[in-house]
Structure 1
Amino acid sequence: MTDLYLIRHGLAGERGTYENDDQRPLTKEGDRKTCQVASRLKKLGLQFDLILTSPLTRARQTADILKATGLSSQCSELAALAPDGNIQDWIIWYNTWSSTEGKSLALVGHQPDLGNWAELLIWGTVKESLIVKKAGIIGITLPATGSPLGNSQLFWLTPPKFLLG
């Protein structure tokens, strides 16, 4: 079994204020709150074998904060975590990783994709009901064998306000 943590990027600059939305960074407040959330996760004893992040600037900055806080020593980008990414591409990656690597994985990405992915993993269908707030987290236990789609269990749904100082 693998504990999967879906983490939405922190508060970022306003949509439409950057020529290339992919380059939109965390705001100062987003950086500060993401650092607070990461510190709280560390105090709670969380540790990730790997952090995978969307290649977009705001997600990458969030992942870098998680890594710098000591939640993982490894961080990599995965294109499937960009907006409108394909969960099947991630599942192909995951099946290879889970057979040889650790058992705790963090994915840093975007809404509505993270909420939709959580629903697919838990219920096997998108219901558009789970919302991951900025710097919020969903924890899901993935099965040891077989497809994780519709066969995973929710164990944690935390908005950032419960993790801030």
Structure 2
Amino acid sequence: MKELYIIRHAQKENTDNYEYDYDVPLTKRGIEAAKNLGTLLKRKKVLPDLIVSSPAIRARQSAEVIAKEIDYNKGVMYNEVIYQAYLNELVESISYTYDNINSLMIVGHNPSLTALAITFTNFKTELQMATAIKIEFDCDSWTQIDRNNSRFVELYEL
């Protein structure tokens, strides 16, 4: 059994104030929302084997705040592919995960994260900021994840 948590970053600052979208940080409200999401995930006993995040500032901040709140004591891995990824790139990145990782958390951006959720489940709405979903796959290897062996488990929203 493999578990995938898909998390969209929390509320970001106005992009007009930044030269590059990559550099846009969270707002104070966004930081608080990431903390609250982390608290909710901890209450639900969510503790992944690995957290992988987009390296964009807002995703990094979200991942780091959530990791702290859930008492994740390993380093967050940053994967450039997650930033502005196409759906097939996300799926390919997930499939490269070592099979000793049974629970994987990905922190990133829309529209690709919503597309990922829709691809594997009957989830039909846009993934909102500071929201997570859990998907389970009935398989032993990340290379085997598929819509046919997936199950939407839970939506975590504030």
User: What's the TM-score bracket when you normalise by the shorter of the two chains?
Assistant: 0.7 to 0.9
Q: Identity of paired residues, percent?
A: 26
> Which residue does 2:31 correspond to in 1?
31
> Which residue does 2:152 correspond to in 1?
154
Which of 123, 126, 133 aligns to 2:128? It is 133
Question: Structure 2 length normalisation: TM-score?
Answer: 0.86
Q: 1:105 to 1:8 in 2, by over 3 A?
A: same
Per-residue CA distance 1:116-143 (angstroms, 9 max, x = gap):
01112236xxx9x331111001111123
Per-residue CA distance 1:82-113 (angstroms, 9 max, x = gap):
12x134334444334242x2211100011111
- TM-superposed CA distance for 1:158, in Å, is 2.9
Letter in 1 for 2:42: K
> Which residue does 1:66 correspond to in 2?
66
Letter in 2 for 1:102: I
The CA distance in 1 between the partners of 2:53 and 2:10, in whole Å, is: 13
Letter in 1 for 2:129: K
- TM-superposed CA distance for 1:50, in Å, is 0.6
The CA distance in 2 between the partners of 1:11 and 1:66, in whole Å, is: 14
8 Å Cα contact 2:3/2:137 also seen in 1: yes
- TM-superposed CA distance for 1:40, in Å, is 1.9
Q: 1:78 to 1:38 in 2, by over 3 A?
A: same
Unaligned runs of 5+ in 2: none
- TM-superposed CA distance for 1:78, in Å, is 1.1
Could you say what secondary structure the match of 1:16 adopts?
helix
Letter in 2 for 1:9: H
8 Å Cα contact 1:49/1:103 also seen in 2: yes
Unaligned runs of 5+ in 1: none
Question: Structure 1 length normalisation: TM-score?
Answer: 0.83
The CA distance in 2 between the partners of 1:81 and 1:27, in whole Å, is: 21
